[in-house]
């Protein structure tokens, strides 16, 4: 079970349809990438990286992905999540809310 933190709850809105991609790595780390359109039509993205135990390692919420469709934003988010999970990209020092 994932333990969501503040960034996720800032993202959460049950009234907006979103697309999700969940993935688990061989070391037990998992990530969750979600994209949606805001009420004003902006593409938005949430990315969460979690330990084997479900503890949040990193969460980020992008209020806008200008010029990106939901599909393009999802691809970007999944690639970023994989890079963060495998240390190919360093974890930001703070949770992001862009």
Q: Is 95 inside any structural domain?
A: no
Closest among 58, 57, 13 to 37, alpha carbons compared: 13
Residue-number span of the structural domain to which 45 is assigned: 6-87
User: What residue has token string 């800032």?
Assistant: 10
- pLDDT for the residue numbered 69: 97
Q: Is 96 inside any structural domain?
A: no
Q: Is 80 inside any structural domain?
A: yes
Mean pLDDT of 30-56: 95
Can you name the residues that pair with 35 across neighbouring β-strands? 19, 45
Mean pLDDT of 8-21: 90
- Predicted structure pTM score: 0.87
Q: Is 40 inside any structural domain?
A: yes
The Cα–Cα gap between 26 and 30 comes to: 9
Share above pLDDT 90 across residues of the chain, in percent, rounded to a whole number: 71
Q: Is 93 inside any structural domain?
A: no
Q: Is 1 inside any structural domain?
A: no
Q: Is 23 inside any structural domain?
A: yes
Q: Is 97 inside any structural domain?
A: no
Number of structural domains, the chain?
A: 1
């Amino acid at each position: 079970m994932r333990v969501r933190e503040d960034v996720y709850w800032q993202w959460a809105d049950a009234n907006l349809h979103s697309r999700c991609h969940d993935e688990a790595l061989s070391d037990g780390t998992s990530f969750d990438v979600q994209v949606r359109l805001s009420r004003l039509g902006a593409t938005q993205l949430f990315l969460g990286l979690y330990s084997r135990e479900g503890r949040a390692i990193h969460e980020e919420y992008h209020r806008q992905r200008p010029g990106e469709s939901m599909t393009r934003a999802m691809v970007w988010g999944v690639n970023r999540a994989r890079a963060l999970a495998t240390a190919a990209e360093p974890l930001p020092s703070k949770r992001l809310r862009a």
